[in-house]
């Protein structure tokens, strides 16, 4: 049906009506007092979401632009960095580091497995000359649905003493707790079309004081993504370059909704929906790429059973039910499909998607008790 | 009044309802077939606007991001470049070049005057060793309302033979003809919140074949703004990084409107409204920063008469009439105000703004025959 699409992909995620209506407002001048008030309010709300007193800077860019800003503002040519790589977005961090001539040391794990914190511990502990300048981690690996153990890896980085910790929180921010100040995270990058519940078009970089110290000596070239410029102007509630005014107005609306729901409730909702999705998948006889111990709160990668084609599952969900789920990327192409439960997703959406998935599997000839998946999801969602 | 604001600044410009409504649509997946169709259509329309058969690439970035992409994709560290500088945005080009270690040679003119093509001719003619790699020009200088003589400077660059010509067309694209292929322009950068009639948030870079040749040997670091990646994906009607889906949908709507109006009619409308604005300003006894011979089609910088404060003019226009005009920037701060006639502006808007300006001047004690400005504007607008 026209206009009936339901996005269950890990971004863009569904956008609530009040954010859509804010997008449709006539723009105001980005240098006006009225806009500065909006920008100040949005900045305070972003700090709330990041659980930080430090700057959260707004870039007109995608999440990758925010990631690149993290790298190029706080490091120097030739710096040794440890980059966690267990999926497409970990690979991307490494690619960005390579593009700027860093000494990129990849700490790999297979796609679908979590990064091993012990490898980081060993490398950091052995670095008595303090040559490691940063540890760069994808928190929730969107390509596999794995949540890396950021808390532990961060602890090892802290034990090292000088290495910065930089986090891609693109699909974890707004889905699970990323307590920037409590953990002492130095740089946290994210993007608007995920937990923020607005369309793509804005990137965010939160920056702590140790990173600003490193900024002073960083020598990588930059202009548009120069966070020092952004910091200076953010102090005056503005941006160095014309910001995406309508997107910022939509963000004000969506962050307001998030504040009214509350951080604890948001995180509990994502965790509950993740458990329900995984329980249902198991009950339907489907495989799960990531183990329970490292399951992302926002995205579940499902391995279809023998004889069922992942792309056929996606095609039927789209055609019959107007539900869009994501496919596998690169080495996982055709082998999995990925169900997003990120952002503006209610328990009703989860039941609808899982029921549609059961109908689809039946149509594709998968034997199994129809109804088992939905029953398992209902049980997992509980009475809340 | 609430919701009554009329933007007469050089960006963001007013946005038509059908573009606003497109912004408010539920986003669709940026990797979907449906979105690729939209992207293909938008790309074709962008080529129409640029009067080119070559790629026009879409970046999630402001105009400055597009300008930086122009510099860093086609040049090498240490390259000698001629940068025209007669306003804030010319200065910015130079700053970007400096940030990347180019040998930046600024060709200056006073703010409010046009660049002198003869200086470019001499420098280019003297460069028998072909050390000049690019000539970088701001077409319409937004800070002063000066339209630089791109056609002539470009001809001298062509006589040189190897120097690329790169153009900031941020406030000229969609306001006056920038015939990329006819003139053989190599790189043309622009931004969405101007002639495109949509809010800020997208940047555009059109690239010709000589620039792509230079891309092969360019050695400046880049990732997010790598136009080679964008070109490769554009050929498949997609983008390397998540694009601003809703902004692209709005752009499809606004470019459709522009096609229905037609390039010649759009350019004639801007030229007519510029003439009307200038005739009215003169009839009111106001000064014009730029000479008729170099007046921008999209922005008129007005010098208030002795005893009238530019900022008071702006404040009264805003307070009594809900009309926003821009102030002077940097060295022109407080000395001028700038009236935008760019994008979605009808003749009615021009008359309203000029009548409100007359009322404002009267209120601020400026002696002059009230009605003279509007009369002059009506005459200049003619019967069309």
CATH numeric code, B263-381: 3.90.1150.10
Partner A, chain B 84-123, Cβ-Cβ below 8 Å: 95-96, 99-101
Burial of residue B295, with CB atoms counted within 10 A of its CB: 0-12 exposed, 13-18 middle, 19 or more buried: buried
* DSSP β-ladder status, A80-85 and B146-147: unpaired
pTM over 0.90: yes
Which residues on B lie below 8 Å from A224 (Cβ)?
61-62, 64-65, 68, 225
Alpha carbon distance A288, A8 (integer Å): 17
Alpha carbon distance A140, A123 (integer Å): 22
**pLDDT, position A333:** 96
Residue ranges of domains in chain B: 17-260, 263-381
* pLDDT average, residue stretch B90-96: 98
Do the chains contact at A61 and B61, CB–CB below 8 Å? yes
* pLDDT average, residue stretch A58-66: 97
Mutation for A interface: B9, B27, B70, most A CBs within 10 A: B27
Q: Is the peptide bond before B12 cis (omega within 30 degrees of 0)?
A: yes
**pLDDT, position B368:** 79
Buried b (16+ CB within 10 A) or exposed e, B346-379: ebebbbbbbbbbbebbeebebeeeeeebbebbbe
| Selection from A41, A56, A29, A92 nearest residue A254 by Cα | A41
Mutation for A interface: B246, B250, B322, most A CBs within 10 A: B246
* pLDDT average, residue stretch B189-193: 97
What's the Rg (C-alpha) of chain B? 21
Contact, B178 vs B139, CB < 8 A?
A: yes
pLDDT in tens, B286-296: 999 999 999 99
Assess: ipTM above 0.85.
Answer: yes
Side-chain half-sphere exposure of B359, counting CA atoms within 13 A: 14
Contacts of B383 (CB under 8 A, 6+ apart): none
Q: Is residue B128 scored above 60 in pLDDT?
A: yes
Buried b (16+ CB within 10 A) or exposed e, B20-41: bebbbbbbbbbebeebeebbeb
Helix (H, G, I), strand (E, B) or coil at B156: helix
pLDDT in tens, A122-168: 999 999 999 999 999 999 999 999 999 999 999 999 999 999 999 99
| Selection from A6, A99, A40, A37 nearest residue A348 by Cα | A6
By C-alpha distance, the chain B residue nearest A71 is B223
Do the chains contact at A26 and B9, CB–CB below 8 Å? no
Alpha carbon distance A185, B68 (integer Å): 30
Kindly report the nearest CA distance between residue A383 and chain B, in angstroms: 30
Alpha carbon distance A267, A263 (integer Å): 6
CATH numeric code, B17-260: 3.40.640.10
**pLDDT, position A383:** 63
Of chain A, the percentage scoring pLDDT greater than 90 comes to 98
Do the chains contact at B20 and A25, CB–CB below 8 Å? yes
Do the chains contact at B199 and A245, CB–CB below 8 Å? yes
Q: Is residue B384 scored above 60 in pLDDT?
A: no
**pLDDT, position A367:** 82
Do the chains contact at B23 and A21, CB–CB below 8 Å? no
Closest Cβ opposite residue A199 in set B11, B100, B244: B244
| Selection from A100, A65, A74, A43 nearest residue A186 by Cα | A74
How many CB pairs lie under 8 A apart between chains A and B? 172
pLDDT in tens, A210-243: 999 999 999 999 999 999 999 999 999 999 999 9
* pLDDT average, residue stretch A16-27: 97
Closest Cβ opposite residue A29 in set B3, B12, B30: B12
Determine the angle formed by the axes of helices A245-261 and A33-50, rounding to 10 degrees.
Answer: 40
Partner B, chain A 155-214, Cβ-Cβ below 8 Å: 191, 193, 199-201
Is A68 within 8 Å of chain B by CB? yes
* pLDDT average, residue stretch B332-342: 97
Q: Is residue A384 scored above 60 in pLDDT?
A: no
> Where does B139-271 show beta strands of DSSP type E?
140-141, 146-147, 164-168, 187-191, 203-207
Q: pLDDT band at A185, cuts 50/70/90?
A: very high
* DSSP β-ladder status, B132-138 and B80-85: parallel
* pLDDT average, residue stretch B224-241: 98
End-to-end Cα distance, chain B: 31
Alpha carbon distance A229, B325 (integer Å): 26
Sign of CA dihedral B262, B40, B65, B70: negative
**pLDDT, position B369:** 79
Alpha carbon distance A119, A103 (integer Å): 18
Is B10 within 8 Å of chain A by CB? no
pLDDT in tens, B264-309: 999 999 999 999 999 999 999 999 999 999 999 999 999 999 999 9
Q: Is residue A16 scored above 70 in pLDDT?
A: yes
By C-alpha distance, the chain B residue nearest A325 is B29
Do the chains contact at B199 and A324, CB–CB below 8 Å? no
Alpha carbon distance B125, A52 (integer Å): 57
Is B64 within 8 Å of chain A by CB? yes
**pLDDT, position B106:** 98
Partner B, chain A 312-351, Cβ-Cβ below 8 Å: 324, 326
Strand-pairing partners, residue A213, are: none
* pLDDT average, residue stretch B336-359: 98
Helix (H, G, I), strand (E, B) or coil at A181: helix
Kindly report the nearest CA distance between residue B251 and chain A, in angstroms: 13
Which residues on B lie below 8 Å from A171 (Cβ)?
none
φ, ψ at B98 (rounded to 5°): -60, -40
**pLDDT, position B383:** 63
Contact, B340 vs B8, CB < 8 A?
A: yes
CA A87, chain centre distance (Å):
13
Least confident of A348-362, B206-220, B368-382: B368-382
**pLDDT, position B85:** 98
Mutation for B interface: A14, A76, A78, A221, most B CBs within 10 A: A221
Closest Cβ opposite residue B7 in set A29, A100, A225: A29
By C-alpha distance, the chain A residue nearest B198 is A27
**pLDDT, position A368:** 79
By C-alpha distance, the chain B residue nearest A77 is B221
**pLDDT, position A369:** 79
Which residues on A lie below 8 Å from B29 (Cβ)?
7, 9, 12, 324, 326
Which residues on B lie below 8 Å from A299 (Cβ)?
none
Partner A, chain B 222-281, Cβ-Cβ below 8 Å: 222-226, 241-247
pLDDT, averaged across chain B: 97
**pLDDT, position B251:** 98
**pLDDT, position B161:** 97
Q: Is residue A309 scored above 70 in pLDDT?
A: yes
**pLDDT, position B370:** 87
A295: left (phi over 0), alpha (psi -120 to 50) or beta: beta
């Amino acid at each position: 049906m026209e206009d009936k699409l339901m996005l269950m992909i890990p971004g863009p995620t569904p956008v609530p009506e009040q954010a859509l209506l804010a997008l449709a407002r006539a723009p105001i001048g980005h240098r006006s007092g009225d806009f500065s008030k909006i920008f100040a309010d949005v900045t305070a709300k972003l700090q709330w979401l990041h659980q930080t007193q430090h700057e959260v800077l707004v870039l007109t860019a995608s999440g990758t632009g925010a990631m690149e800003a993290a790298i190029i503002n706080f490091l120097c040519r030739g710096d040794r960095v440890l980059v966690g790589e267990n999926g497409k977005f970990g690979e991307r961090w490494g690619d960005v580091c390579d593009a700027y001539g860093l000494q990129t040391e990849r700490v790999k794990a297979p796609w679908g497995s979590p990064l091993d914190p012990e490898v980081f511990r060993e490398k950091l502990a052995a670095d008595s000359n303090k040559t490691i300048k940063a540890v760069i981690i994808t928190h929730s690996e969107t390509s596999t649905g794995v949540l890396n153990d950021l808390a532990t890896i961060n602890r090892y980085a802290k034990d090292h003493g000088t290495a910065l910790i930089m986090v891609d929180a693109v699909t974890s921010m707004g889905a699970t707790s990323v307590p920037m100040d409590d953990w002492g995270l130095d740089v946290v990058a994210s993007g608007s079309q995920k937990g923020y519940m607005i369309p793509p078009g804005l990137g965010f970089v939160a920056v702590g004081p140790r990173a600003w110290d490193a900024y002073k000596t960083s020598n990588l070239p930059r202009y548009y993504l120069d966070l020092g410029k952004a910091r200076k102007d953010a102090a005056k509630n503005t941006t160095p370059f014309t910001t995406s005014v309508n997107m910022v107005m939509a963000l004000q609306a969506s962050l307001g909704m998030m504040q009214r729901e509350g951080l604890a409730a948001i995180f509990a909702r994502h965790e509950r929906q993740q458990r329900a999705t995984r329980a249902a998948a198991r009950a339907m006889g489907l495989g799960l790429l990531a183990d329970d111990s490292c399951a992302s709160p926002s995205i579940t990668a499902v391995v279809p059973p023998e004889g069922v084609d992942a792309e056929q599952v996606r095609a039927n969900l789209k055609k019959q039910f107007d539900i869009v789920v994501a496919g596998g990327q690169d080495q996982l192409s055709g082998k999995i499909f990925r169900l997003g439960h990120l952002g503006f997703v209610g328990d009703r959406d989860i039941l609808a998607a899982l029921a549609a998935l059961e109908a689809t599997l039946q149509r594709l000839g998968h034997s199994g008790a129809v109804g088992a998946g939905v029953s398992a999801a209902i049980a997992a969602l509980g009475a809340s």
